[in-house]
Amino acid sequence: MMNTAKINASRMSTARKTLALGLSGAALLLSGLVLAGGTEPVGMGQMPANLKATAALRDPAGQVRGEASFEQVGMGMRVTVTASGLTPGMHGLHVHDLGRCTPGVDPAVNKVVPFGGAGGHFDPGGSKNHDSPMAGNKYGHGGDLPMLNVGADGTGTATFTTDKVSLTGKDGVLNRSLMIHADMDDYKSDPSGKSGARERCGVIVRDNFTVRDYPLPGTQSFPEGVAYDARKGVIYTGSAANGNIYAINANTGATSLFSEGGAVGRSTALGLKVDAQGRVWVAGGATGAISILSPDGAPVATLMTPPSPNPYLNDLIPTPDGSVYITDSTRPMIWRVRDMKVEPWLNLGGTPIKYGPGINLNGIVASPDGRFLLSVQLNTGELWRIDTQSRAIRKVMGGLKNGDGLLLDGQTLYVARNADGVVSKVGLSADYGSGTLMMEEPLAGLRFPTTLAKVGADVVVTQGQLDKLQGGTPETPFKLTRFKIF
Ligand SMILES: [Cu+2]
């Protein structure tokens, strides 16, 4: 490790893995490692300015004895770590999955240990394997970083640039933890390279960025939809796992159960919207139902779409004429409710919107006059404009894969891109017919953001964690997170 090497293992023009590291003055540069995880192209989106983060590294007694800084530099992330009070020699250094430096179970030893709350190594490629910092994320944890070399005085410094992890996107480390272990990392033994006890831990927090969380009760909240009623100052969110709808006071954060899930059509709650009368509309996913609740939470109606196979009512939008339009992610149909009756409004067969496997049309919004609907197709990343008068369909743009919920604010469209962990900002033309990707915001380390709503000059985003719905351990409490609009 004390010499300089350059290895080019690339056989693919698309390879972009690079890792450059300097440990105690030595430098090692590697390039051409094949990217593991299938990262989405960044496209024309810009990184937010000054995307930097810091972690204060504490010992198990809670004293700060080190720090780390993170800065996005081109396609890589520069990491600088210093820590003191450690034994001389090499120490394992990793990004752990969860943003918690509390005691908890360490899977490597299966008992409660200091900093066990940080969970295992961050594994965005789903490798389920510990490996070296040079391995692609498909083969080893993205969080497996170069070791910290501690000198005779007990102080260690490491500086390196890596693109195994990032500050944005699915490899994003914001709101996860940086960990220094007691022993050296063998770069191979699962799950943690036999690197021993957890000696320093810090949560990786974005610099100069204000966040407000609204924690939700229970361990199964999986919030999917969000809507804001400005007249009441109430944020509504619903559980994809059990259909509970919560009402959150946007000022105080006080949360109450607005409507308990479980009734017919309400075993799940996906897209949510508030209409002009303050009623809450809920898309019922695979139940094929649309539920309407009064402003005090009482059931008004449950409307069933026809019992054809595999319904998936995902999102809905009221328009000024009293209609409500509903997307179906599996059946190529846009449904409409008028006078409390649901009807098949637009059959998408033979139109430019081609349904394929997976989730198709998802989030839906409308222009303020109700003339145009905009809906994103999650599996293709296409954004569509649908004219409610002529029913003509026009492709606005592509490049929005994993696009889930939408927020339309004037001519700006915000797209929550769940598996990418970002919110994309799109500028739209006056007729909503074309769009440009302006920015991809990681905000503060969103966990599978499904949708967002505007609250005053802020946005509130669900951290749905729906990737953990069928297995895995979600971070609790579940939460919505509020940020200044960008
Ligand atoms: Cu570790």
Give me the pLDDT at residue 109, please. 84
- The set of long-range contacts for 331-336, using a CB threshold of 8 Å and a minimum separation of 24, is 332/360, 334/361, 334/373, 334/375, 334/386, 335/290, 335/305
Average pLDDT of the chain is 90
Q: Find the 134 Cα to ligand 1 centroid distance in Å.
A: 16
Q: Find the 93 Cα to ligand 1 centroid distance in Å.
A: 6
Q: Find the 92 Cα to ligand 1 centroid distance in Å.
A: 7
Q: Find the 118 Cα to ligand 1 centroid distance in Å.
A: 9
Identify the residue whose tokens are 């600088």.
80
Q: Find the 17 Cα to ligand 1 centroid distance in Å.
A: 21
CB 440 within 8 A of CB 449: no
Q: What is the tens place of the pLDDT at every residue in 149-194?
A: 999 999 999 999 999 999 998 999 999 999 999 999 999 999 999 9
pLDDT at 40 over 50: no
pLDDT at 407 over 70: yes
Residues 6+ apart with CB under 8 A from 335: 290, 305, 313, 325, 326, 328, 342, 343, 344, 345
Give me the pLDDT at residue 320, please. 97
Query: Can 4-206 and 212-484 be said to share one CATH topology?
Result: no
Q: Find the 23 Cα to ligand 1 centroid distance in Å.
A: 18
pLDDT at 148 over 50: yes
Backbone phi, psi, residue 97, to 5°: -65, -40
Q: Find the 236 Cα to ligand 1 centroid distance in Å.
A: 38
pLDDT at 15 over 60: no
Q: Find the 73 Cα to ligand 1 centroid distance in Å.
A: 24
Give me the pLDDT at residue 137, please. 96
Residues 6+ apart with CB under 8 A from 252: none
Query: Rounded to two decimals, what is the model's pTM?
Result: 0.88
Q: What is the tens place of the pLDDT at every residue in 282-308?
A: 999 999 999 999 999 999 999 999 988
Q: Find the 197 Cα to ligand 1 centroid distance in Å.
A: 9
Give me the pLDDT at residue 73, please. 87
Q: What is the tens place of the pLDDT at every residue in 323-361?
A: 999 999 999 999 999 999 999 999 999 999 999 999 999
Q: Find the 144 Cα to ligand 1 centroid distance in Å.
A: 8
Q: Find the 139 Cα to ligand 1 centroid distance in Å.
A: 16
Q: Find the 8 Cα to ligand 1 centroid distance in Å.
A: 28
Q: Find the 342 Cα to ligand 1 centroid distance in Å.
A: 53
Q: Find the 408 Cα to ligand 1 centroid distance in Å.
A: 41
Span 258-264, average pLDDT: 91
pLDDT at 371 over 50: yes
Q: Find the 36 Cα to ligand 1 centroid distance in Å.
A: 20
Residue ranges of the domains in the chain? 4-206, 212-484
- The set of long-range contacts for 117-122, using a CB threshold of 8 Å and a minimum separation of 24, is 118/176, 118/177, 118/179, 118/198, 118/201, 119/473, 120/96, 120/191, 120/192, 121/94, 121/95, 121/96, 121/97, 121/191, 121/192, 122/94, 122/95, 122/96, 122/97, 122/165, 122/173, 122/176
Q: Find the 473 Cα to ligand 1 centroid distance in Å.
A: 18
For the 4-206 domain, the top CATH level (class) is mainly beta
Q: Find the 191 Cα to ligand 1 centroid distance in Å.
A: 8
Q: Find the 415 Cα to ligand 1 centroid distance in Å.
A: 34
Q: Find the 181 Cα to ligand 1 centroid distance in Å.
A: 6
The CATH code for residues 212-484 is 2.120.10.30
Question: What percentage of the chain reaches a pLDDT higher than 70?
Answer: 90
**Could you tell me which residue, 35 or 65, shows the higher pLDDT?**
65
Q: Find the 95 Cα to ligand 1 centroid distance in Å.
A: 7
